[in-house]
Amino acid sequence: MALLLFHDHRCLWSSRAFPGPASDSASVKGIFRGIHCAVCSQFRPRMFEVRVTEGSVQVEGCTTPLFFRQSEPVGAAPTLTVLLLHGIRFSSENWLNIGTLETLAKAGCRCVAVDLPGLGRSKAAEPPVATGQLAPGQFLRSLCESLGLAPVVIVSPSLSGMYSLPFLMQHSAMVRAFVPVAPICTDKFTAEQYQSVKVPSLIVYGDQDTQLGEASLHNLQHLTNHRVLVMKGAGHPCYLDDPDTWHKGLVDFTSAL
């Protein structure tokens, strides 16, 4: 008796001599190990080698270039481009240290983590507006155009909401998806403005972040096409508190785009 295993009209595995009832269990087990290996090789996600580099970019509105780190898959065209922003006490180094740059590149993404003006290794750059005010949407547009990022997935924690939200509202055609992580400035837009944004969004916050996390969710839930990831036991920088859950949620979301 012959056994064939098909998927989408493709033969994944075959046995020209599938044993009958008299065959011993070892033979049967061997055949099904072969089936298991054939199936796994077809559906196992491909993991790429990763190259990480550093650079600087001139952005409209800044007299001093901004520092950035970039990760990308080696030997393959990226499937998505991701821009990682950060909060007031952080920088691109955090995304390097917890493995987000590597994780996304292994999944096939080109990933850029920038140090925002006045912070990290962009400390000499003057911010375009005071902290907590909305930056011009042109700021991130200039960054994305200079680095060739669009259409881009924007990951925006905390302080970076002052940059990402105006860009999202004014230049949504350049945004592939939006991942807000308890950002500031969500109260500066109306429910109608959020409803006008159609890009896929993953709203992330830690359940121990009872102030900014819940406040931002209250406003961001008006985004038309969104899902929510609540990270149990995590605080405001939830991605630092639980990198494994953060990476799984982020990769699952971006892989489905």
**78-102: average pLDDT:** 98
Please pick, among 71, 209, 216, 247, the residue that the annotation labels catalytic: 209
Please report the domains of the chain, with CATH numbers, ordered by start residue: 3-43 (no CATH), 50-255 (3.40.50.1820)
**10-19: average pLDDT:** 38
User: Which runs of consecutive H residues, i.e. helices, occur in the chain?
Assistant: 25-43, 92-97, 100-106, 137-147, 161-170, 191-195, 212-220, 238-241, 243-255
Please pick, among 86, 226, 236, 247, the residue that the annotation labels catalytic: 236
Look at 25 and 64; give whichever has higher pLDDT. 64
Look at 152 and 44; give whichever has higher pLDDT. 152
* 201 a catalytic residue: no
Measured CA to CA, the distance from residue 193 to residue 224 in angstroms comes to 10
**Percent residues over pLDDT 90 in the chain:** 80
Residue 69 has a pLDDT of: 99
Supply the mean pLDDT for the chain: 88
- For the chain, the farthest-separated pair of C-alpha atoms sits apart, in whole angstroms, at 81
Measured CA to CA, the distance from residue 57 to residue 147 in angstroms comes to 8
Q: What is the pLDDT of residues 127-176, one digit of tens each?
A: 999 999 999 999 999 999 999 999 999 999 999 999 999 999 999 999 99
**For residue 32, pLDDT beyond 50:** no
Q: What angle do CA 82, 40, 101 make, to 5 degrees?
A: 20
Please pick, among 158, 160, 201, 216, the residue that the annotation labels catalytic: 158
Measured CA to CA, the distance from residue 107 to residue 74 in angstroms comes to 11
This prediction's pTM: 0.83
* 218 a catalytic residue: no
**84-107: average pLDDT:** 98
* 158 a catalytic residue: yes
DSSP 84: E
**193-220: average pLDDT:** 97
